[in-house]
Structure 1
């Protein structure tokens, strides 16, 4: 085995972790792959001669790459929170290790949407420290701050996340029971049953891509979301639904005539739905290629 093959082998040992870091930073599976590839290119140029902790070094490199990508979005005037949902990770209960790593720690779409609203330095400090345990002493140089300043950024991000992204119930069976009740109510056109499974402060985000003028649509509050009962009813009658895990929580993959129609993610807290994310953008669904019922 030559030096480059040895280097590539060592890099592959960290690829799954690096993809998970990049996905949480960027909310995009394609961009996460790009960030990981850039980390490989930088490692290939640097070699491992002076790298004591390869995993830590690669994590900080991916962090820097993702930070640059987030800042580039801002410079281009993009507003990801308003423009589109993060990419969902659709899995079965038994799946491959890479996709399990992407959804570990209940990183639901609702949480990723909140992360999109953070500043790039806040997001990096929160993701690297709170989700991956990187010390602030290692995070500080990435964002050109002191460790104390990096700690404050993570603390500010943590407060925003806790206030805007309720933690899902840990029991997957309980989650599925509530989602099944939602689906039954939608198919039956039962407004009262629909209201019963919705939290008073539920938030619905629907991303239809270019097919939906104005970008992502956001509805807040049980009355507003339940007011879509007729739409839920028509959609449920037209489509075939398959239970799936979407970012580790109960979700649905809906198909129409054998083609993916939408992916729905649900956040269930205290037996009530607190958030619903619906991705129905045909172009993105084709790229994600979820298994249809």
Structure 2
């Protein structure tokens, strides 16, 4: 009787083990498929950067060609494509726009989270309502206003509006609720620290992971921004990289070069990869560090 119970227990354990193994295999298969779907467009871009227009138009290949340097030469030798000036414009807009966006969003979230004042909840809900408004709706009015003010073909109208980012503010507010100790703020005030010093030297180090994440998102958003620059910028020397890429894609079909397009897109992605690699270590390190060490 006892042996029968032991045998049935072993069979049940073996059955559960087989079920878990089957589920694990299914999960791995799904993850492999999702990984392939994510990496396939990137691999296709890298491969087509090394192939010429004729090869891309006539056949598909999983392996690299030998036209990479020719494609890059075509990109930088085209007098109608100021790629280097567009790169500089994109860097200026993205760097300053993302820094202003993250800093002032964190500052606003800090004020809403730490200070107790009348109308605090109303302001918070109002910002959430603004978050629901599509950028395209407000962008058209902004572009018309700036054009009437004679401020088109300038870079600052692409940077300053980045300060107002309800999505970044909301993320910072939620993150501060979970990690920011209000007792530490009160203790710093008792010790005579000013509000900006508390925010810059105590609050910001604590929310470093959130800052790094939002810097990546803000940088990518500013870097890929096409809609607002397309409404405001017509001067070739003030255009950003998305506008240059769009100009290549909209060029004369008789002179259209897919190799050049892929090379330009790949060139435009490089700064995004550098920013991610630079900030990713702060995301990991920030989860184990804070402004207070015991």
TM-score range with shorter-chain normalisation? Answer: under 0.3
Report the structure, 1 or 2, having the larger helix content: 2
More relative contact order, 1 or 2 (CA 8 Å, 6+ apart): 2
**Length-normalised TM-score, structure 2:** 0.26
Report the structure, 1 or 2, having the larger strand content: 1
**Length-normalised TM-score, structure 1:** 0.26
